[in-house]
A and B are shown apart, each in its own frame.
Chain A
Amino acid sequence: MKGDMRAAFLIPAITILTGLLAIESQAFPLNSKKAPQSEADLLLIQEALFKAIPNAKAATVCIDIGDGTGSGVIVTADGLVMTAAHVSTGVGKMVTVIMPDGTKLEGETLGLMAEYDAALLRITGEKPEGGFPVVEINRSDDTKLGDWVFSLGHSGGFDKERGAVARLGRLVRVANTTFQTDGTLIGGDSGGPLFDMEGRLIGIHSRVGPQLPVNMHVPVKVFLGEWDRMLASEFIGEGPFAQKPEKGKGFLGVATTDVDGGLEVTKVGKKSPAEDAGLQEGDVLKTLNGEALENRDKLKSILAELAAGDKLKLEIIRDGKDETINMRLGAR
């Protein structure tokens, strides 16, 4: 597509050059045949894989969300990762991103589309010099039925000795919000990348059917349609791939008593979000998200409007000094 457009805008004097450009960006030649017809055709597929896999693999990460792992793929040098909503499970969650060499980096989930199993997250850990390895997104929406494709993913979890597992297949079903391929996926692959034969990202692994050749992916155009909202950490749509945390069900983990100027912490729950954030007995909580904490009812009424994962900014007095604590509400 891009090549055609470029050619159309160029003046006749450089027709030969535009011709070359058009060839360079032409679709994988074998995709125009219904099936490979010779060993030469098979070698075309093999050569394309040899060329595409190393780069694609370098950007395919494992995502550890605490009680399971999925996969994801880095698409910007500053560490933006595309994955599945059922892997990220929510907005603003802390995850561990495992690079192909085993390096573990912190990450934070951004927005997601609960209805279509699409999500973004950002690696917040230290960037390598020169940025993260990335894959190119195929934005042209020219993927079509029968195209040869390959999947990568950390099947069953991270295994450094094995590396990301590659699977070859064809696009056997194309619907508006789903691609189906016959390259088999398994748990742990969720959120991992589906590529065209030029190594451009065309989808994200989502789910499987009971039969081995039934494997579903979310097309990248679904992501691109809501890219900015996801980037802005919006929780878009309702289930089935992620559940919105319920308001008022968040968990802070402190007991307080009313004192002059706020609420004094009388107890901090073991392993509570409050403890993780460093709240201590004796701290006086003055404000929460800018609102003065006049009494315990006020705290309750603010928390009733918040859900697990929401950001909290607490202004407190500790040992006579003002301090600010930024944290997130936990799940009960």
Chain B
Amino acid sequence: MEKMKRSTCGWARVSAAILLVLAASVGVGLSQQSLETNFRTTGAAVTGVFEPQRQAIQKFSAVIYEGRREIAYGVVISADGYILSKASEVDGKAGLSVRVDNTSYNSAKVVLVDQRWDVALIKVDAAGLVPADFAESSDLPQGTWVVVNGATSRTKRRVLAGIISAQRREIVPTGGAVMGVQLAQAKGRIEVEEVSEGSGAESAGLKKGDAITSVDDKKMKDGDALTEYLKTKKAGEELKVSVKRGEEKLELQVRLSARGEVFVELTRNDEMSGDFSKRRSGFPKIIQHDVLANSDTMGGPVLNLAGKVVGMNIARANRAETFAIPVEELRKIATDMVRQVSE
């Protein structure tokens, strides 16, 4: 950290918001003093005081593995092995396993996904797990301490702390909701010209050359009509897309993505943000905090000083912002999802 390379990078015309001049020459003189790592905000001397919260995290913050790689954290919500995590990090991954406290659970399965919130319900074969203790409210003033699972070893969860850093709010999908296709008007019908990689259209199986006849049972006369209809939708919602492929008629469920996530254009801010979440917009409501994180540390619980869950980390948005689902909504999501799989 101390021996970082510094380069001057002056004011550039950027389309997005400015502009931190990246690491310009800093006076490295004799008069300079530096705080020992141990006493920095992420240092052991500071994180050590959060031991009571760490013990709570040890019990109900799950670690999700794909093979041997940690890909996300999760919130244990039942003694018999239901765990919530971030869907776009865990869904569709093969060989999932979960570690809670010191025990590893193999053959973990994603049993349900809530696209709107990007939440996955995972089930492992377990008994006697300690479910997370939910707080009453996430209505916390800016400056309130929060504690999260920041890193982990096989046996021990480690914590990082920070504060509630902004107002609770909705995060609208970046650039609106899209299926992830390019359309062309041909012979009086809407034809799919290209399907974008990683889009909802691709995973639904939409193919180049397909003719879209109706969406949600509404006839679409041209691409403009479809675009107008999409404006009423949000990323995460699903569309019923009726398609003609040759002589075949198909019905596909297409999940809408945020435009900014399908057609990725890295901004200067993205470039200084390290490993942020692929899906980081399109959440009905979030709380925001300033704890250091990356895309692999999402899905875990956000605790208050009382050791109760005030939210679940759902997106590392950028270098300075992390979003979490507020506990009020998390409680509803958990109840609904468990009810759905039990029915």
A208 to B4, CA, bound (A): 11
A247 to B287, CA, bound (A): 50
Give the interface segment out of A15-23, A65-73, A227-235. Answer: A65-73
The answer to whether the Cβ of A212 comes within 8 Å of any Cβ in the partner chain is yes
- Chain A hits for B34, CB < 8 A: 145, 172-173
The answer to whether the Cβ of A283 comes within 8 Å of any Cβ in the partner chain is no
Q: Which single residue of chain B is at the shortest CB-CB distance from A70?
A: B18
- Chain A hits for B45, CB < 8 A: 34-35
Q: Chain B: interface residue count, which band? A: 35 or more
The answer to whether the Cβ of B227 comes within 8 Å of any Cβ in the partner chain is no
Cβ-defined contact, B1 with A165, below 8 A: no
Cβ-defined contact, A175 with B17, below 8 A: no
With beta carbons under 8 angstroms apart, the residue of A42, A69, A173 that contacts B17 is A69
Given the known inter-chain contacts A67-B14, A173-B33, please indicate yes or no for A37 contacting B49, CB distance below 8 A. Answer: yes
A243 to B12, CA, bound (A): 12
A216 to B6, CA, bound (A): 12
**Shortest distance from the beta carbon of A41 to any chain B beta carbon, whole Å:** 7
The answer to whether the Cβ of A53 comes within 8 Å of any Cβ in the partner chain is yes
Chain B 1-30 interface 0/1 with A at a Cβ cutoff of 8 Å (1 = within) = 100111010110111111111111111110
A290 to B166, CA, bound (A): 53
Q: Which single residue of chain A is at the shortest CB-CB distance from B286?
A: A162
Cβ-defined contact, B27 with A67, below 8 A: no
Cβ-defined contact, A166 with B163, below 8 A: yes
Cβ-defined contact, A208 with B23, below 8 A: yes
The answer to whether the Cβ of A327 comes within 8 Å of any Cβ in the partner chain is no
Cβ-defined contact, B1 with A213, below 8 A: yes
Q: Chain A: interface residue count, which band? A: 35 or more
- Chain B hits for A45, CB < 8 A: 145
Cβ-defined contact, A184 with B166, below 8 A: no
- Chain A hits for B48, CB < 8 A: 35
Q: Which residues of B contact A (CB under 8 A)?
A: 1, 4-6, 8, 10-11, 13-29, 31-35, 38-43, 45-46, 48-49, 52, 141-145, 162-167, 169-170, 267-269, 272-274, 288, 290, 292, 305, 318-321
New A-B contacts (11) at CB < 8 Å, excluding given A53-B141, A166-B163, A186-B272: A43-B305, A49-B163, A53-B143, A68-B18, A150-B143, A157-B16, A167-B290, A168-B41, A190-B21, A210-B4, A210-B5
Q: Which residues of A contact B (CB under 8 A)?
A: 34-39, 41-43, 45-46, 49-50, 53, 57, 65, 67-70, 86-87, 89, 117, 145-146, 150, 155-157, 161-178, 180, 182-190, 205-214, 216, 239-243
